[in-house]
Chains A and B, each alone.
Chain A
């Protein structure tokens, strides 16, 4: 029995796997960066009244 050529599906599978995990890692990084910026802004806002 001849083995069918299903390499296109295989490539698609691996590409989608890496892209999905890559997007997730990127989303973790972006959310982390934005939250750190929020913390900095909020901390500076919190400090301002005490300086008066």
Chain B
């Protein structure tokens, strides 16, 4: 068994600390939003998870390209780790958005452009795991994964941009919908909680991806040993 690197141990502890601080800032530090009330506090986690989710899908596409160029399996492991962790965080984004929508829009779900593209993105990556599992040959599987994440990666910028391109009930948080609006319509305390949540989820994301990459290396070792033993 490979010992856990010291840096990863430190990252584990830092992740727990930043998550605790981010929760404190969201629950107690940030002021209560006047129109939506307490539920608005989930917004900090909603944005944090959305940021790492979409970032991971884009990085997985980049990782896929690097694999196709180098044919080095470590990029396939990295890509798989990115997709798995991002899919988990993006699932959380959708669930938190739905919880927020219920009191704000009086519905759990609506087929708004943002919600639709987000759901499609998540489904694309759920299908990725199902299709990947069906391929026995590791090289074929890696090649398929690389091409799939490359094409699937397009859905991430589309999801981000859709509320800026089409009429949507989903609020535009980052970047004003028009030139007369503030870039971030939040109080200074809200901005602190917001930016810290982005930072915290980035740290947690790196930690989870690192753990998943190590797991991927172990999976590869088991596959190789199975081949060796069966021969």
Contact = CB atoms under 8 A, between A and B. Distances in A.
Nearest to A20: B92
B222 A42 contact: yes
Interface string A24-46: 11001001100110110011011
B228 interface: yes
Contact of A9 (B26, B102, B219): B102
Contacts of B226: 42
Contact of B99 (A13, A24, A28): A13
Contacts of A28: 208, 211-212, 215
A3 B1 contact: no
A40 B46 CA distance: 41
Contact of A13 (B37, B42, B88, B222): B42
Given A35-B215, A39-B218, A9 B95 contact: no
A45 B228 CA distance: 10
Nearest to A48: B229
**Majority secondary structure of chain A interface residues (helix, strand, loop or mixed):** helix
Contacts of B26: 14
A35 B222 CA distance: 7
Contacts of B67: none
A6 B229 contact: no
Contacts, number: 101
Contact of A17 (B45, B102, B211): B45
B23 interface: yes
B201 to A, nearest CB: 10
A46 B230 CA distance: 9
Contacts of B41: 10, 13-14
B34 interface: yes
B42 A14 contact: yes
B218 A35 contact: yes
Interface in B180-231: 204, 208, 211-212, 214-215, 218-219, 221-222, 225-226, 228-229
Contacts of A46: 225, 228-229
Contact of A14 (B23, B219, B228): B23
B37 A3 contact: yes
18 contacts: A5-B38, A6-B36, A6-B38, A9-B42, A10-B38, A14-B45, A20-B91, A20-B92, A20-B95, A28-B208, A31-B215, A32-B214, A32-B215, A35-B219, A35-B222, A42-B226, A45-B229, A46-B228
Interface of B: 1, 19, 23, 26-27, 32-42, 45-46, 49, 85, 88, 91-92, 95-96, 99-100, 102-103, 204, 208, 211-212, 214-215, 218-219, 221-222, 225-226, 228-229
